[in-house]
Structure 1
Amino acid sequence: MAGNPRTGRPYRRLCVEQRALGLPCWICGEAIDYELTSLAAQRSPWAFTLDHLVPLSRGGDLLDPANARSAHRRCNSQRGNRSTSAPTPQRQYRRW
């Protein structure tokens, strides 16, 4: 039985390599606080997460370095599985 691929050595290595680049968030362009390393600090919305240019749910490769991007936890969560980094416009509702 295979385990979670995100806890395996190849994925952790990809995260370490991406973190070492020290790049800004590819979604918002702001700096990422790479000093946040403890478990509690990693839950910060400004902490580093590994995002994928082509979302995994749309056929992106989990371990392909060309598909890996540095992102804030918050930006990554807001983007979801959309293929672009631009947020979708909010629907306007009329109150009658």
Structure 2
Amino acid sequence: MAGNPRNGRPYRRLTAQQRALGLPCWWCGGEIAYWITGPEAGRHPASFTLDHAVPLSRGGDLLDPANARSAHRRCNSARGNRTDAARQPVRASRRW
């Protein structure tokens, strides 16, 4: 299969379906700024992004609706490839 599957129609459809649910961030529970769209959504930390409960790097399915979750861009980025079992709250910094 050529190209990036995240640019394909099935992935865009799954993302649109998840966005339409209007759910809070599955990671922190906060409200997602669904009204932020277009180029600025790619930079805004509170904007919607499609996250995967089982990270793709750990064998999660890119197109499985059961693996799709709504998340803030910042939460998705901060989570990395941790699974729900390794769930930790997103923190701005650590105090030593």
TM interval, short-chain normalised: 0.7 to 0.9
Are the aligned partners of 2:32 and 2:47 in contact in 1 as well (CA < 8 Å)? yes
Unpaired runs of 5+ residues, structure 1, are none
* Partner secondary structure for residue 45 of structure 1: coil
What is the CA deviation profile of residues 53-74 of structure 1, one whole-angstrom value per residue up to 9, with x for unaligned ones?
0000000000000000000000
Contact 1:36 1:42 in 2 (8 A): no
Counterpart for residue 10 of structure 2: 10
Distance 2:60 2:95 in 1: 32
Q: Show CA shifts across 1:47-96 (max 9, x none).
A: 00000000000000000000000000000000000012325998876xxx
TM (norm. structure 2) is: 0.87
Larger CA Rg, structure 1 vs 2: 1
Matches within 5 A, 1:1-96: 2-84=2-84, 85-87=87-89
Unaligned regions of 5+ residues in structure 2, if any?
A: none
Q: TM-score, normalised by structure 1?
A: 0.87
Percent identity of equivalent pairs: 70
**Which has the larger helix fraction?**
2
Q: C-alpha separation between the residues in 2 aligned to 1:88 and 1:36?
A: 21
Cα distance in 1 between the residues matched to 2:43 and 2:7: 17
Count of residues in Structure 1 that have an aligned counterpart in Structure 2: 93
Asked if the contact 2:78/2:90 (under 8 Å) is kept, the reply is no
